[in-house]
Homo-oligomer: A and B are copies of this chain.
Amino acid sequence: MKKIMNGPEKIVDQMLQGFAFARADKVGYDPLHRVLYQKTFDPKSVPIISGGGSGHEPGHLGYVGEGMLAAAVHGDVFVPPSAQQVLAAIRQMDQGKGVLLIIKNFVADLATFLSAEVQARAEGRDVAHVIVNDDVSVESDASFEKRRRGVAGAVLVHKIIGAAAKEGYSLEALQEIGEQVVKNLATLGVALTHADLPERREPQFLLEEGEVYFGVGIHGEQGYRKEKLVSSELLAVELVNKLKSLYRWDKNDQYAVLINGLGGTPLIEQYVFANDVRRLLAIENLHVSFVKVGTQLTSLNMKGISLTMLKICDEQWVKWLYAPVDVAHWA
Contacts and interface: CB of A to CB of B under 8 A. Distances in A.
Contact of A15 (B209, B268, B300): B268
Interface string A248-284: 0000000000010001111111111111101000000
Contact of A271 (B19, B77, B325): B19
A295 B331 CA distance: 12
Contacts of A269: 3-5, 11
A292 B25 CA distance: 12
Given A295-B295, A300-B268, A276 B6 contact: yes
Nearest to A207: B2
Interface residues of A, number: 71
B235 A4 contact: yes
A62 to B, nearest CB: 7
Interface stretch (A51-59, A90-98, A218-226): A51-59
B293 A22 contact: yes
Interface string A1-39: 111111100111011111101111100000000000000
A229 interface: yes
Of listed A266, A278, A303, A331, residue having the most chain B CB within 10 A? A266
Given A291-B21, A331-B330, A62 B6 contact: no
A177 interface: no
Contacts of A25: 322
Copy number of this protein in the oligomer?
2
A245 interface: no
A2 B229 contact: yes
Contacts of A325: 331
A18 to B, nearest CB: 3
A126 interface: no
Nearest to A7: B231
Interface string A62-85: 100000000000000100000000
Contact of A19 (B1, B21, B293, B324): B293
Contact of A18 (B58, B274, B330): B274
Interface in A223-246: 229, 231-233, 235
Interface of A: 1-7, 10-12, 14-19, 21-25, 54-55, 57-58, 62, 77, 192-193, 209-210, 212, 229, 231-233, 235, 259, 263-276, 278, 291-295, 298, 300-301, 303, 305, 322, 324-325, 327-331
Given A2-B193, A18-B271, A294-B328, 8 more contacts: A2-B303, A4-B273, A6-B272, A14-B272, A18-B270, A18-B276, A55-B268, A264-B266
